[in-house]
A and B are shown apart, each in its own frame.
Chain A
């Protein structure tokens, strides 16, 4: 089945710096890659996603890039703020287990130091 690896597991940055989280996936037929943010004590929520026919997508301070050849995708957060502190999960959608299956990475705990 699909395997999604996420790095790093923890990341600490100074407020205003950029943060980058990387994920790799194993199924070359995966075609949808969402990112979820889980604030302390809350449920994970979708923040941005990208499809395999697109190389980059931006939404204000966050962006996601996808390299299909290398089978990796990354989340970029610029001008980080304390409220960006959370656990971030990447995910990939498997092809061979149906259109609706999502496999998540192990998560990255981002700490933005004021």
Chain B
């Protein structure tokens, strides 16, 4: 069974441009989470989608947006890129609660570099 996949693996953009990151969840998972990880440490919560709708949003400006498609894949868009947006963007997916657990499986991430 394929895990969570993200594309592209690396992305280099110029300040002011837009970036689009993509995530395909594990088959059967309806929830997709996006996190920003800067400096290789903290996971800053960006967005949570479940069954096509945005369920929760972290403390990020509106230029960070996304959507979830009918097949539950998701897209993260970052407009008007700034240098400090350079980070690893991780996507995770989870499915229905099983035995009281909700395990989240992470993708390998997209390394976004803004120059």
Q: Name A residues whose Cβ lies closer than 8 Å to a Cβ of B.
A: 1, 9, 31-32, 34, 36, 40, 42-46, 49, 51, 87, 89, 91, 93, 97-104, 106-107, 109
Contact = CB atoms under 8 A, between A and B. Distances in A.
B48 interface: yes
Contacts of B43: 44, 89, 104, 106-107
Interface of B: 30-31, 33, 35, 40-43, 45, 48, 50, 55-56, 90, 92, 94-97, 100-104, 106-109
Contact of B48 (A32, A44, A91, A101): A101
Contact of A101 (B41, B55, B107): B55
Given A1-B56, A43-B109, A100-B50, A107 B103 contact: no
B41 A93 contact: no
B94 A102 contact: yes
Contact of A100 (B45, B102, B106, B108): B102
Given A36-B104, A93-B102, A106-B41, 15 more contacts: A32-B100, A34-B101, A43-B106, A44-B92, A46-B104, A49-B101, A49-B103, A87-B41, A97-B48, A98-B50, A100-B102, A101-B55, A101-B102, A102-B102, A104-B35
Contacts of A104: 35, 43, 45
Contacts of B108: 42-43
A75 to B, nearest CB: 16
B90 A43 contact: yes
Nearest to B99: A51
A112 B22 CA distance: 35
A37 to B, nearest CB: 11
Most buried by A among B50, B56, B102: B102
